[in-house]
Amino acid sequence: MSDTSARSDNAARPKGRLIYRQNLVTRLTHWVWAICMFFLLLSGLQIFNARPQLFIGQESGFEYNNAILEIGSRAVDGQRIGYTTVFGQEFNTSGVLGLSETPSGPRLRAFPEWATIPSTQDLATGRVVHFFFAWIFVGTLLIWLAFSLFNGHLARDLIPYRRDFKNLPRDIADHVRFRFTHAMTYSPLQKLAYIVVLFILFPLIILTGLAMSPGMNAAWPWIIDIFGGRQTARTIHFLTMAAFVIFFFVHIFMVVAAGPINEMRSMITGRYRLSPTRDDDAEISK
C-alpha cells in the first residue's frame, strides 16, 4: 500500500466526538494523589527499614520469632547474603533486598537506597516526609469526596448499578482481549476498580496508619482493637501499600494499552475522545 493510500485511509477513518469528561477537581486530586503516593511509598520503605519485619497481633517477638515477613542479611560460609523470609520460607534476595550493591560498596538494608526517601538510613526524616504527605493525601481525599457528592460525579460515574454487574462478564472479556471502547462513562470493571481503591484501600491505609500512632491510640484506643493489634495494623498497612503498587502498574499498563494520548489528555485537559461507535450511539439517543 502506498503512503498516499495509507494517508487517505486514515483521513477516511471516522473519529469519535471530543467531550469534556474529567472536571478540574477530579484532575487535580488525581495528580495530587499520584505525587503523595510516590513520597508515601518511598518514605514508608524508609520507615520499614528501621524494623524490617511484619507481625500479627499486639506484639513483636524479641526473645522468640513470630514474624510473618522478615528482610535481612546474614553470613553464609563466610560470605554475607541478603534474605527474605515469608511465613518461614527463606529466599536469597542478595542484590535487591537485605543486601544491595552501591558504588561505594554493599549496603546491609532491607530496601536499597534507590527505593527509599531519603536514600540514606534516616528514620526521623522519613517519618517527617511520610506524615507530611499523609495529611495532604487525607485532605485531598476529603475535598474530592465533598465535590463528588456535590456535583453528582460519585453517583453518576462511579457507583456500579445493576446494569454494570450485568455487563461485567463482557467487559472483563473485552479487557482480556484488549478491546477497549472509549465511552462517556466508566466501564463496569473500571467502576469496581475505582470503588475498591477509593472506598476500601484508601480508608484502610489511613485507618491502619492512625492505629500505629501513639497519639491516636490515646485519643481513640478502640482503633487498635479494630485491627486486632498494633502489629496487625502495621502488617495490613504494608500489604495495602503493596496492593496500591500493583494497582499502579496495572493502571499504567491499561492507560498505554487503551491509548495513552487520549487517556493522558483526559487527565490533563479533561478532554476525551469517544470511540466512533459510542459517538454514533450518543447522537442517536439525542
Residues 71 and 164 in one domain: no
Residue 202 lies in a domain: yes
Q: What is the mean pLDDT of residues 30-56?
A: 95
| Total domains, the chain | 2
**125 domain residue, yes or no:** yes
Same-domain check for residues 73 and 205: no
pLDDT band at 279 (very low <50, low <70, confident <90, very high): very low
pLDDT of residue 8: 45
Please give the share of the chain, as a percent, with pLDDT higher than 70: 90
Q: Are residues 195 and 245 in the same domain?
A: yes
Structural domain boundaries enclosing 210 = 17-45+120-285
Confidence band for 13, pLDDT divided at 50, 70 and 90: low
Alpha-carbon distance of 136 to 33, in angstroms, equals: 9
- With 90 as the cut, is the pLDDT of residue 3 above it? no
Pair 73, 181 in one domain: no
| Same domain for 249 and 128 | yes
Evaluate whether residue 212 is within a structural domain.
yes
On whether both 135 and 173 belong to a single domain, the answer is yes
* 66 and 170 inside one domain: no
**Residue 199 located in a structural domain:** yes
The answer to whether residues 30 and 85 belong to one domain is no
CATH code of the domain covering residue 272 = 1.20.950.20
In a domain, 79, yes or no: yes
Q: What is the pTM of this model?
A: 0.86
> How does residue 62 score in pLDDT terms, banded at 50, 70 and 90?
low
Residue 34 confidence (pLDDT) above 90: yes
Q: Are residues 81 and 211 in the same domain?
A: no
Q: What is the pLDDT of residues 177-199, one digit of tens each?
A: 888 888 888 999 999 999 999 99
Domain-ending residue, one of 66, 83, 110: 110
Q: Are residues 134 and 247 part of one domain? A: yes
Question: Quick one: pLDDT at residue 6?
Answer: 44
